[in-house]
Amino acid sequence: MTFLKERGDLGVEPVLRERHIPSSTYYRWCRSENDPCEHSRRDAELTEKIRQIHADSGVVYGSPRVPAVLRREGAATGRKRVERLMCEAGLHGISPRRSERG
């Protein structure tokens, strides 16, 4: 829907009608860009905490240990949410178990 913002000469309603998009969907999308929902804001805060914990661990801690540290700090969150946020942020732990073959 960014094409509507790029093309100021076009009216919003005719373009939405042509593309079979309800106008309420467009306006909800515009509002969500300016004012993210509580879940998105909380995810952003948690991601910053996760980045800090990950960096403090020497880039070693992964998704099993990070939630434990968050719980100790008082931020209760699940392992799967931490996994998702770490994946989105491009953070990975280091596994100490490496088998050597040969």
pLDDT per residue over 64-92, tens digit each?
899 999 999 998 889 999 999 999 999 98
Instruction: Output the CA torsion sign for 71, 58, 63, 100.
Output: negative
Task: Give the residue from 85, 48, 54 showing the smallest Cα distance to 69.
Answer: 54
pTM of the model: 0.64
pLDDT per residue over 55-66, tens digit each?
999 988 888 899
Instruction: Output the CA torsion sign for 24, 30, 34, 40.
Output: positive
